[in-house]
Structure 1
Amino acid sequence: MTFRQRKRLIQASPWILLVSLTLLWEVVCYAFSVPTYLFPAPSDIWASWLEYHDPIMRHATQTLFTTVTGFAIAVVFGLILGILVGSSPLIYKAVYPLMIGFNSIPKVAFVPVLVVWFGIGTVPAILTAFLISFFPVVVNMATGLATLEPELEDVLRSLGASKLDILKKVALPRSMPYFFASLKVAITLAFVGSVISETVASNVGIGYLMISASSTMDMGLVFAGLVVIGIMGVVMYEIFAFIEKRMTGWATRGTDPGF
C-alpha cells in the first residue's frame, strides 16, 4: 500500500466503519424481525426523519442554542478560574478540593433547583450545560499551567522575566493543547447537560421531543433525536479539533497517523 493510499484509507476509515455498522444494524433488525417500538432499524429512523423533519430541526436548533450558550459561559469562567488555579499554589490548594466535591454531584440533581429558581425552559438548560462542562476546562487549563517545568521558569527568571511575563509568553501558549483538549470534551458534555434538562424541565428541545416520542412508543423518532444529537456533537468536536490543529499544530507535529 502506497503512502497516499494509506492516508486515504485512514481518512475514510470513520465512514467505512459507520456504513458497516449501519448495514449490520439493518440486517440484524430485519433478520430477527425486531419490532420497531423496541429497536428501530436505520430505515425506520430515516423514515421518522423524513416525516418529522421540521419539528426535529426546530427542537435541534433550540438544543444547539442552549448547549453553545452554556458552553461559552463555561469556557469564559473556566478559563479565568483555570488560570488562577494553575498559576497560584495557594488558590490551587484552596479551590481544588471544593471543585472536586462539586463535580462529584450529579448535575441532574441541580435541575429541580434551577427550575425553582428560574422556571422551566431555556435558562435551566443553559445553566445545566454550563455546570457539566465547566469542570474539564478548569482542570485542563490549571494542569497545563501547573506543569510548567521549574527549570524553564528558573531560566526565564534569571533572564529578567517577571512572573506575568512567564505566564503570558510561555505558560499560556504552552497550555493551549490542554485548553483545546478540554474544549473537545466540554462541548460533548454540554450536550449531555442540555438534553438532561430538556427531558426534565422544558417544553422545547431534542430532550423534550424524545420524551414526548417515547410516551407514544414512537422509537423511530426517539432514535432520530439521538442521531441528531450525535451529529451535532461530532460537528462541534471537529470544529474545535480543526481550530486546535491550526493553532497548536506545533504540539502534535509528526504524530498524525495519516502521515
Structure 2
Amino acid sequence: MSLPSSTLVKAAPWALTALLFVLWELICVGFALPDYLLPAPTAVWASGQEFAGAIMQHATQTLLTTLAGFALAVAVGLALGLAVGASPLVYKACYPLLVGFNSIPKVAFVPVLVVWFGIGTAPAILTAFLISFFPVVVNVATGLATLEPELEDVLRSLGARRLDILFKVGLPRALPYFFASLKVAITLAFVGSVISETVASNLGIGYLMMSASSSMNMPLVFAGLMVIGVMGVVMYQLFALVERRLTGWAHRNPNAPH
C-alpha cells in the first residue's frame, strides 16, 4: 500500500537527513577516522550534551545578533527596494552601486567595523545586515519593476495617482518577491554574524567554534555547525510558513513544496 504523496513530501527531508547521518557514521567507523579529523555524529552528539550550557549561551547570542541584523536589513532593504523599484531614475543610478557593493566579500568589512565599533556585538549585527539586505532590495525592486504596463495604464485612466498604484497595487504585487527574499536573507544573516564572531567577538557560536578548533575539539566545532544549521532551517521554515499564509493567492498550488 503506497503512502499518500503529501506524506512522502513531508517525510522526504527527514528520511534524507537520517540517511546522510547514517552514512556519515558508517564512514567514520569504517575508516576509523580520528575525532580530530572527522568526528562521527555520535561523538558530535556527545559533545553537544557535554557542553550544552555553553552552546545554549553562545547560540542565544548568535540568534539575537542575527535577528537584529536581519531586522535592520529588512527595514533598509524594503525602503531602498521601494525607491529603486518605483523610479527608473533611482533604479539606473543605484543598481550598479548595489551590485558592486554586494560583490565585495563582507568579511573584508569586519576589520573596519572593529576599528569603528570595537570587538563585540555591534560588528556582528552590522555584518549580518551588510550581507543580507541586498536580496531584499533586489526582490522588492523586481516585484515593483515587473508590474504590467497595461495595468498601470488602466489604473491611471481610472484616476489613480502614482502613489496609489505603488502602495495599493505595486506593493501587494511585490509581496511574493519580498517574502522569497526573507527566506534567503535570514540564512545569509546567520553567515554574516558567525563570520564576525569568528574574527571579532568573545561570544557567539562563531567564537565557540574558533575556541574549540584552537584546542582541536572538533566534535564541539561540528556541534556548533549543527546548531547554526538547525537555527537556519527553523527560521527559513518560519518565513516559508508566513509566506504561504500571506501570499497563497500568488501561487497556483499553495500546498506545493517550497
Q: Deviations over 1:109-132 (max 9, x none)?
A: 000000000000000000000000
Q: Is contact 2:44–2:222 with CA below 8 Å preserved after alignment? A: yes
Name the CA distance, whole Å, in 2 between partners of 1:84 and 1:78. Answer: 10
Residues 39-62 of structure 1: CA deviation (Å, up to 9, x unaligned)? 001000000001000000000000
| Aligned residue pairs, count | 257
- How far off is 1:6 after superposition? 1.5
CA RMSD of aligned residues (A): 1.1
CA distance in 2, matches of 1:203, 1:154: 57
Alignment correspondent of 2:222: 223
Q: Deviations over 1:46-105 (max 9, x none)?
A: 000010000000000000010000000000010000000000001111111111111111
Structure 2 partner of 1:147: 146
Give yes or no for contact 2:140–2:174 (8 Å, CA) kept in 1. Answer: yes
The one-letter amino acid of 2:61's match is Q
- What per-residue deviation string (whole Å, max 9, x for no partner) do you get for residues 11-35 of structure 1? 1110000111111111111011011
* Partner Cα separation in structure 2 for residue 222 and residue 247 of structure 1: 38
Structure 2, unpaired ranges of 5+ = none
What is the TM-score when the length of structure 2 is the normalising length? 0.97
The amino acid of 2:172's aligned partner reads P
- Match for residue 209 of structure 1? 208
- Tell me, yes or no, if structure 1 residue 16 matches structure 2 residue 21: no
Say whether 1:232 aligns with 2:238: no
1:254: Cα distance to partner?
A: 1.8
Q: Which residue of 1 aligns with 2:161?
A: 162
TM-score using structure 1 length? 0.97
Distance between the aligned counterparts of 2:232 and 2:61, measured in 1? 14
Query: Counterpart in 2 of 1:251?
Result: 250
Structure 1 unaligned runs (5+)? none
Match of 2:179 in 1: 180
After superposition, what is the alpha-carbon deviation per residue over 1:133-181, rounded to whole angstroms, capped at 9, x for unaligned? 0111001000000010101111111111111111111110010000001
Q: CA deviation at 1:256?
A: 3.7
Name the aligned partner's letter for residue 123 of structure 1: A
1:70 matched to 2:78? The reply is no
Q: How many Å separate the matches in 2 of 1:213 and 1:139?
A: 38
What is the distance in 2 between the residues matched to 1:248 and 1:215? 46
Which 4+ residue blocks in structure 1 deviate beyond 6 angstroms?
none
The aligned residue for residue 123 of structure 1 is 122
| CA distance in 2 between partners of 1:118 and 1:243 (Å) | 34
Distance 2:96 2:21 in 1: 44
- What corresponds to 2:109 in structure 1? 110
Distance apart, 1:255 and its partner CA: 5.9
Partner of 2:94: 95
Q: CA deviation at 1:5?
A: 1.6
Q: 1:254 and 1:142 mapped to 2: Cα distance?
A: 25
Q: 8 Å contact 2:135–2:184 — kept in the other structure?
A: yes
